Structure 1
Amino acid sequence: MLLSTTREDHLVAWLAALAIAIHVLESALPSPIPGVKPGLANVITVLALVMFGWRVAAWVSLLRVLAGSLLTGTFLSPTFLLSLSGAAASLAALLVAHALVGQRLSPLGLCVLAAMAHMLGQFAIAYALIIPHPALLNLLPVLLSAALLFGLVTGTMAARIYRQHPAVST
């Protein structure tokens, strides 16, 4: 039996492969604070959202987390759980923002929102399941500051790419 694929399937596969490659390369970067990474693969997710819609962005994000964890050897580990919770929180925030304001929120704004939501999602799971200690709350301002900084960086990248390649129809 031959499975038929659509143009959207090919688009998701291509974008997910790009996001997975970035995710794997980024996992090799040293981090001064555990769990703090630039989130460069988020650029692909946000561009998928603004250029191709919510469904493509959700598939790209979820496939990145799943395949990225398989390739880095973290599948079903606490790292995977944190990555998945961050991606889910980020996708939820992007869905709400996109539904409420649509294209009026720029790729820069979406990346900042996604980075902050991602960090909050990871922090909530870390606090609830991994380190349920009140002292962990002292890290939250540092983590959210890092998320804001990296959200601005990835958002600037996404905005620049989007200006060069505006909306493309699927």
Structure 2
Amino acid sequence: MNDEAGIFASESEFLDRYVQFGAAQGRVLSVTFPASPDDEAASDHELLDRIEDYLSGVEDDFADVTVALTVPTDQRGVLEAVREIPYGEQVGVAQLLRMTPDMDPDDDEDVRTARTALADNPAPLLIPDHRVRDGPSAAPAEVEQRLRSVEGL
């Protein structure tokens, strides 16, 4: 991803809404799916092209895209583990916790932490919370379902 900073958005016919992200210093700060883009949003960015390709069925794990995670450390571990779930595969929250260092799927507080991390995910799609079948997603429900359908989940 280039070092261009700003807000970028592109309309997705597949999602029936826009895909918008904020970036600075080569890092994605957030991904949202608004009905209309920010007035300041630019529409030309290589990541928007990749997202469009992904939504049309081109496999992409976006592993090379750096996401600036400004979340508590325990939630960061959960979101980093989510990025390790391969394209086209899904896990449950318990399995996600087993994948996350220092987290226990039998600990109610760890389960709450994981669910909070998923619900507050700053960059759904790039941090593919739609691959966690029994957890919340930060993306709107209809977007989550369409992302799951792209990957055959």
How would you bin the TM-score normalised by the shorter chain? Answer: 0.3 to 0.5
TM-score (normalizing by structure 2):
0.35
Q: Which has the higher contact order (CA 8 A, sep 6+)?
A: 1
Larger radius of gyration: 1
Select the structure that is richer in strand.
2
